Chain A
Amino acid sequence: MLDVFFESVQGIIMASGFANVCWQQIVMILIACVLAYLAIAKGYEPLLLLPIAFGMLLTNIPGTGLFHMDFYNGNVIDYGQVLQEGGLLDILYLGVKLGLYPPLIFLGIGSMTDFGPLIANPNSFLLGAAAQLGIFIAFLGALLLGFTPEEASSIGIIGGADGPTAILVTKTLAPHMLGSIAVAAYSYMALVPVIQPPIMKLLTTKKERLVRMDSLRPVSRTEKIVFPIVVTLVVSFMVPDAAPLVGMLMLGNLMKESGVVDRLVKTAQNEMMNIITICLGVTVGATASYDYFLTPKTLGILVMGLCAFAIGTAGGVLFGKLMYIFSGGKVNPLIGSAGVSAVPMAARVSQNVGSKEDPTNFLLMHAMGPNVAGVIGSAVAAGVLLSIYA
């Protein structure tokens, strides 16, 4: 009887994580704990960073079989194998791999977004486009660092400051880097209030930062209803690969603005968005297993991701300066930085930097225009990259 007992205990010990863990997994678990700390204690994008951190922790516990990145690395995925041999996170990851979660997140975002400031001032679209400069410059930088074009596209899209867009592009073009890119994208989005202000101040004069912009005109309900339909048609006809993201974003917005499907809007804004956020976060975190995350490439991703953000911010501000000149000083260049998406954080940063120069100057609503234009712009940029490299 004791023999059986000792053999059983020995078997349990040999199969346990303690006997099989390697130092890289311990490092990854520590990184996961740091990310969880940042989410909980510092409030850095906690809605996504917390599930990402926990997914990262789970995937690096040896022997759990929760997630197998190898299932998804080949050109053809054996879905039978995923269903028969996969763990919990393998099954949930199908939502990422099949491109379901990011568009559904966009549906929720659309149902919460007010495009009124953008409709009132359509020129904001230009700032949203200019801020996409970071994507393409970071793409070039990543190529110079030795990344493949597919990997460089995934790194560049971090500059779009749009988590679901970055995930959609990366899961298609460079799935092995999904964990690193998601962590970089969400970390930098959380750090927008730290990254952007120095660049904004460096590129603008005090006189420009003090510009008070004219009040936005009221936008009619008809305009708000027609807007999502027009955007969907224009963008999807031009870049069909952007249709899943833009289409869902605009469907959510149309539901909100129509005012006739309140029940659906509430579901899209709350329950559905929350469920998808949990599934997306934990599975994206699970892709950050030590053998994929602890590589020199991750360092390159972090560096180029930061460059993408910084250059995107600079692109928006510089274009804002152009608009300042051509409008005869009526446009405050600070709103240009909001073109990097990161809704509504980047718009708040424009407001905060502007109010430091003049506490009675309210730029928030003016910055919301480029901010939501940036969401559309980064989706279009993602569509272009997918159409070229997918």
Chain B
Amino acid sequence: MDWTTAFGTILTGLVVVFVALLLLILLLTIFRNVLGGMSGKKEEKPAAKPISRPAPPAPAKPAPVVTSDIDGEVAAAITAALAVILAEEGAGKAYAVRSIKRVRTGRSAWGAAGLAENVRPF
């Protein structure tokens, strides 16, 4: 057995594997930065939109919110999220949040959805 060749093979193998994958890290990082820069420029334009956009119409009269186990801050956050989504789906329409009920305990629906989305491919 030619041990010089054997150890040369091991050294070559490890070095080539690491160099190839390091090169990929480098290229991916550069690409991400370039893409991040481009998307950063793109994002600047839409950022101005909410300012120019007319504010979503407020409900005619504040509706009572059922908040037996939900505090005011959470209710405000949910209402704000709904306002954003509903303003996109049907601009100009008026909505009123009349009740907020917790549908289940444990992991939140958003958490469960996020987990399912990430784990599904595997």
CB of B70, distance to nearest CB on chain A (Å): 23
The DSSP consensus for interface residues of chain B is helix
Give the complex CA separation of A153 and B21 in angstroms. Answer: 21
Instruction: Name the contact of B1 in the complex, choosing from A119, A143, A384 (C-beta under 8 A).
Output: A143
Instruction: Check: B24 CB closer than 8 A to any chain A CB.
Output: yes
Q: Are A136 and B16 in contact (CB under 8 A)?
A: no
Which of A43-51, A177-185, A329-337, A374-382 is the contact stretch?
Answer: A374-382
In the complex, B78 has a CB within 8 A of chain A: no
Interface 0/1 of A105-145, CB less than 8 Å to B:
00000001010000100110110110011011101100100
A282–B4 alpha-carbon span in the complex (Å): 39
Q: Are B119 and A364 in contact (CB under 8 A)?
A: yes
Residues 1-40 of B at the A interface (beta carbon under 8 Å)? 1, 5-7, 9-10, 12-14, 16-25, 27-29, 31-32, 35, 39
Given known A220-B35, A223-B31, A368-B122, contact A380–B25 (CB-CB < 8 A): no
Residues of B within 8 A of A376 (CB): 21, 24
Are the CB atoms of B35 and A239 closer together than 8 Å?
no
Q: How far is the CB of B13 from chain A (nearest CB, A)?
A: 5
In the complex, how many residue pairs between chain A and chain B have their CB atoms under 8 Å apart?
106
A341 and B79 CA atoms in complex are apart in Å by 46
Contact A136 to B13, CB < 8 A, known contacts A220-B39, A368-B122:
yes
B23 CB to closest chain A CB (Å) equals 5
Number of B residues contacting the other chain (C-beta, 8 Å)? 31
Query: CA separation between A140 and B9, bound complex, in Å?
Result: 10
Query: Please, which residues of chain A bring their CB within 8 A of the CB of B5?
Result: 149
A385–B1 Cα distance when bound, in Å, is 17
What does DSSP make chain A's interface, helix, strand, loop or mixed?
helix
Out of A125, A153, A227, A238, name the residue touching B25 (CB < 8 Å). Answer: A125
Pick from B6, B14, B17, B122: contact of A149, CB under 8 Å: B6
A34 contacts chain B at the CB level, 8 A cutoff: no
State whether B25 touches A126 (Cβ < 8 A): yes
Are B20 and A136 closer than 8 Å at their CB atoms? no
| Contact call A122/B28, Cβ cutoff below 8 A | yes
Q: Which residues of A contact B21 (CB under 8 A)?
A: 125-126, 128-129, 373, 376-377, 380
Besides A114-B122, A133-B14, 20 other A-B contacts (C-beta < 8 A): A119-B28, A122-B24, A125-B22, A128-B21, A129-B21, A132-B14, A135-B13, A137-B10, A139-B10, A140-B6, A153-B9, A230-B31, A234-B27, A235-B20, A347-B122, A365-B118, A377-B21, A384-B16, A385-B13, A389-B9
State the A residues within 8 Å of B (CB): 112, 114, 119, 122-123, 125-126, 128-129, 132-133, 135-137, 139-140, 143, 149, 152-153, 220, 222-223, 226-227, 230-231, 234-235, 238-239, 344, 347-348, 362, 364-365, 368, 373, 376-377, 380-381, 384-385, 388-389
Q: List 23 A-B pairs, Cβ < 8 Å.
A: A125-B24, A129-B17, A132-B14, A140-B10, A149-B9, A152-B6, A222-B35, A223-B28, A226-B31, A230-B24, A238-B16, A238-B19, A239-B16, A344-B122, A364-B119, A368-B122, A377-B21, A381-B13, A384-B16, A385-B9, A385-B13, A388-B12, A389-B9
